Amino acid sequence: MTTYSVSVIHKVHDSNFIVTKLMFGGIVPCFCIVHHVKMSTTQMSLTIEIPTPQAERLIVGASVAIDGVCLTVAALDHEAAASYSFVQFDVVRETLSRSTLGMLGAGDFVNVERSLLVGDERGGHDLSGHIDGTVQIVGHDTVGETVDMQLNAPDRLMNYIFEKGYIALNGVSLTIGTVDLDLGTFSVHLIPETLRRTTFHRKSLGMMVNVEIDRTTQVTVDSVTQWLREEVAPLVRSSEQFEDLKALLVNHLTTTPRTNLG
């Protein structure tokens, strides 16, 4: 049976042509062990043991998110064992410089999500697997069976991080808790199911995780900022007024419920 990635779907809504680039949903089904890592002068070869239920529909050329990074299957060995397959990926220098993948070694664990197929249930939020960098865990508090985690992000990313907004950490779709712009930190709350299915139960203070900001939020913030600079900036008296107005508009637009286009 032929299957099709959601990334090839184009939709039309209200006479506007919308290209849907959804690849992943951020609902990670499992974490897997790194079997082998080989570095060369130009790239890293990464082989992961992926359980049969997640690997059986994979083919060479398929897209898989490894700790949130979209990678292409370079080789497959479905006969490696009864319960899992060896799946190999090639990781170029650019990806290594932007992510935590270059820190991986044999025996480490990674979150794994294959790309969505037409008809798959959609949960989480739309992710491309094109991460924006890394953030550091600066707070880790266990509250009963849950974990409250605080992370430090660079200013360029904090511009797109809002309370109750979406964010993906190591490929996991999460809701942002509190945000402290002065400290450059934000929090997320991890429920027991997320801790069980992902590598977050292995994370501790000081560790780095991959981050992908919500693209809708990014487009909103950048569009509002450009409009304000072109149309409003000449009319305001100070940079403080400009930033206050920007924050007001962005906060309103990013916290307004989104319409599901179906």
> Residue 170 belongs to a domain with what CATH number?
2.40.30.20
How many domains, the chain? 3
Range with the lowest mean pLDDT among 12-26, 121-135, 238-252? 12-26
Using 50, 70 and 90 to split pLDDT, how confident is the model at 256?
low
Whether residue 117 contacts residue 32, with contact meaning beta carbons closer than 8 Å, is answered with no
pLDDT for the residue numbered 13:
35
Helix, strand, or coil here: 244? Answer: helix
Cα 152 from chain centroid (whole Å): 16
152 vs 249, higher pLDDT: 152
| Residue 154: closest CA among 178, 184, 175, 182 | 184
What crossing angle do the helices spanning 215-227 and 239-255 adopt, rounded to 10°?
A: 140
pLDDT(14) > 90: no
The model's pTM: 0.81
pLDDT for the residue numbered 196:
96
Answer whether residue 262 is part of any domain: no
pLDDT(180) > 80: yes
pLDDT for the residue numbered 141:
95
Element spanning 249, H or E: helix 239-255
pLDDT(5) > 60: no
**Final residue in a domain of this structure, among 80, 114, 148:** 114
Let me know whether 31 and 106 are in one domain.
yes
Q: What is the pLDDT of residues 135-163, one digit of tens each?
A: 999 999 999 999 999 999 999 999 899 99
pLDDT for the residue numbered 245:
65
Let me know whether 18 and 92 are in one domain.
yes
Q: How far apart are CA 38 and CA 35, in angstroms?
A: 10
Let me know whether 102 and 195 are in one domain.
no
Let me know whether 93 and 150 are in one domain.
no
**Final residue in a domain of this structure, among 114, 142, 170:** 114
Answer whether residue 204 is part of any domain: yes
pLDDT mean over 188-201:
96
20 vs 68, higher pLDDT: 68
Strand partners, 5: 117
Whether residue 94 contacts residue 76, with contact meaning beta carbons closer than 8 Å, is answered with no
pLDDT mean over 8-24:
44
Q: Which domain holds residue 229?
A: 217-255
Let me know whether 107 and 139 are in one domain.
no
Structure tokens at 239: 């940079």
Q: How far apart are CA 42 and CA 59, in angstroms?
A: 24
Answer whether residue 137 is part of any domain: yes
Whether residue 220 contacts residue 253, with contact meaning beta carbons closer than 8 Å, is answered with yes
* DSSP labels, 184-216: TEEEEEE-HHHHHHSGGGG--TT-EEEEEE-HH
Residue with tokens 């511009």: 159
Q: What is the pLDDT of residues 77-120, one digit of tens each?
A: 988 777 889 999 999 999 999 999 999 999 999 999 998 876 66
Return the C-alpha torsion angle 226, 227, 231, 232, nearest 10: -90
pLDDT(211) > 60: yes
Using 50, 70 and 90 to split pLDDT, how confident is the model at 240?
confident
Let me know whether 27 and 100 are in one domain.
yes
Across the chain, what does the average pLDDT equal? 84
pLDDT(129) > 70: yes
pLDDT for the residue numbered 250:
67
Burial (CB count within 10 angstroms: exposed 0-12, middle 13-18, buried 19+), residue 205: exposed
pLDDT for the residue numbered 190:
97
pLDDT mean over 163-185:
95
